[in-house]
Amino acid sequence: MAVSRRRRLTAVAVVAATVALTAGLATGCDSVDKALDCVHTADSIADNVTGLQQAVENAANDPTRADDSLNAIEKNLDKIGDRTDHTDVNKAVDDVKKAVGNVRTAIKNGDRTPDVSPVTDAAGELTKVCTK
């Protein structure tokens, strides 16, 4: 009877260890997935910033392109913000949002060639934070 009980306890211990290990790996993978999402989205934002720079350069031909680029950046920022609770990432997202808002305000106020370098700088910082 003692051998049977020992086997059961051993089996329970093995199952408990397997569950704990699996939970640990899943949590680790979740962190990696979040980091990869951040990097991919930051890369998309970098593409959007390039599009914004081109749109501002060609604003005389098509003023709506800058607005489209700003919208795309904000959409990607929302993706990052929804997927992380990392303080540095959230601060970097806020900095890009602020820079985008400033460009949007400048365009609304009639500036045909607003300075987009703060957006570029903030997006670069976001990329750095996502890869840390």
Q: Is the pLDDT of residue 125 over 60?
A: yes
pLDDT the model gives residue 100: 92
Percent of the chain predicted with pLDDT > 90: 14
pTM: 0.69
Q: What is the 3-state secondary structure (H, E, C) of the chain?
A: CHHHHHHHHHHHHHHHHHHHHHHHHHHHHHHHHHHHHHHHHHHHHHHHHHHHHHHHHCCCCCCHHHHHHHHHHHHHHHHHHHHCCCHHHHHHHHHHHHHHHHHHHHHHCCCCCCCCHHHHHHHHHHHHHHCC
- N residues, the chain: 132
pLDDT the model gives residue 79: 79
